[in-house]
Structure 1
Amino acid sequence: MPTYQWRKSSYSADASNCVNVAAANGVIAMRESDDPDVVLTTTPAALRFLIRGAKAGDFDRLQEG
C-alpha cells in the first residue's frame, strides 16, 4: 500500500470522527478517522461523479422501499 499524506477537513476541528482524504499516483484514498485501517480508494473522476450526484440529491431516496 502506498504511503499517503492524509488530510482532514478544517471544519472537523479536533473531532475524532472525520473523513481523511489523500491522493497518490492518480488514486484518491479515503478513511474514517475512527477506523484508519480501512481505506477506500477511487479515481478522481468517480469521486467527482459521487460528489456531484450527492449535491444534486440523486441519492436522497435510496433508503425508501
Structure 2
Amino acid sequence: MTRTDQLLLRVRSHVHGETLESLERAGFTPWEVERQIGYGHLRAGENGRITYVYNDEDAS
C-alpha cells in the first residue's frame, strides 16, 4: 500500500473527515494533502475538515 493509499484510506474511514493537524500528527505532509485535493480525491471543507471525494470506482 502506498502512502497515497494510506492517506486516502485514513480520510475515507472518518465520516466527518480529518483536520490537517491530525493528518500531520499521523505523519502526512501538508504537500501530500494539498496534492490529493488538487487531484480531486480529497476536499477541504469550510469547517476545516478534509473529506474523501467518492467517485464511480468506489461503487465497485
Per the normalisation by structure 1, the TM-score is: 0.30
Q: Which has the higher contact order (CA 8 A, sep 6+)?
A: 2
| Larger of the two Rg values belongs to structure | 1
- Point out the structure with the larger helix share: 2
